[in-house]
Amino acid sequence: MRTGWIGLGIMGYPMATNLLRAGFEVAVYSRTPAKMAALEKMGAVAAASPSEVARFGEVTITMLPDAPDEELVLFGASGVVEGASAGHVVIDMATISPEATRAFAARLAERGIEMLDAPVSGGEAGAKAATLVIMVGGKREIFDRCLPVFKALGKTVVFMGPHGCGQMTKLCNQVAGVLTLQSVAEALLLARAGGLEPHKVLQVLSAGSADSWNLRNQGPKMLARDFAPGFFVRLQQKDLRIVAETAAQLGVPLPATALVRELFRVVEAHGGGDLGVQALVTALEKMAGRTVA
The least distance separating ligand NAP from the CB of residue 189, rounded to whole angstroms, comes to: 24
Catalytic one of 35, 170, 221, 238: 170
Task: Check binding of 276 to ligand NAP (CB under 6 A).
Answer: no
The least distance separating ligand NAP from the CB of residue 287, rounded to whole angstroms, comes to: 26
Task: Check binding of 6 to ligand NAP (CB under 6 A).
Answer: yes
Task: Check binding of 164 to ligand NAP (CB under 6 A).
Answer: no
The least distance separating ligand NAP from the CB of residue 196, rounded to whole angstroms, comes to: 30
Residue 58 or 71: the one with the smaller Cβ distance to ligand NAP is: 71
Measure the CA–CA gap between 149 and 24, rounded to whole angstroms. 8
Q: How many CA atoms lie within 13 A of 70 on its CB side?
A: 26
Residue 254 backbone dihedrals phi, psi, to 5 degrees: -130, 70
Measure the CA–CA gap between 234 and 126, rounded to whole angstroms. 20
Residues 105-124 that bind ligand NAP (CB under 6 A): 120, 123-124
Of these, 25, 69, 99, 274, which contacts ligand NAP (CB under 6 A)? 69
Tell me, by CB under 6 A, how many residues bind ligand NAP.
26
Task: Check binding of 10 to ligand NAP (CB under 6 A).
Answer: yes
CB 28 within 8 A of CB 53: yes
Of all residues in the shown chain, the one whose CB is closest to ligand NAP is 9
| Residues whose CB is less than 8 angstroms from the CB of residue 266 and which lie 6 or more positions away in sequence, other chains included | 282, 283, 286
Residue 1 or 133: the one with the smaller Cβ distance to ligand NAP is: 133
Measure the CA–CA gap between 185 and 243, rounded to whole angstroms. 21
Measure the CA–CA gap between 254 and 247, rounded to whole angstroms. 7
Alpha helix segments (H runs only) across the chain: 12-21, 33-40, 50-56, 67-75, 80-83, 98-109, 123-129, 140-153, 165-193, 198-206, 213-224, 233-250, 255-269, 280-288
Of these, 17, 95, 212, 282, which contacts ligand NAP (CB under 6 A)? 95
Start-to-end C-alpha separation, the chain: 49
CB 58 within 8 A of CB 88: yes
Task: Check binding of 94 to ligand NAP (CB under 6 A).
Answer: yes
The least distance separating ligand NAP from the CB of residue 174, rounded to whole angstroms, comes to: 9
Based on the residue annotation, tell me whether 41 is a catalytic residue of this protein: no
The least distance separating ligand NAP from the CB of residue 32, rounded to whole angstroms, comes to: 3
Task: Check binding of 11 to ligand NAP (CB under 6 A).
Answer: yes
Residues 222-261 that bind ligand NAP (CB under 6 A): 230-231, 235, 239
Residue 67 backbone dihedrals phi, psi, to 5 degrees: -60, -40
Residues 34-53 that bind ligand NAP (CB under 6 A): 35
Region binding ligand NAP by CB under 6 A among candidate stretches 28-36, 38-46, 161-169, 189-197: 28-36
Helix (H, G, I), strand (E, B), or coil: what is residue 159?
strand
Catalytic residues: 170
Residues that bind ligand NAP (CB under 6 A): 6-12, 30-32, 35, 63-65, 69, 72-73, 94-95, 120, 123-124, 230-231, 235, 239
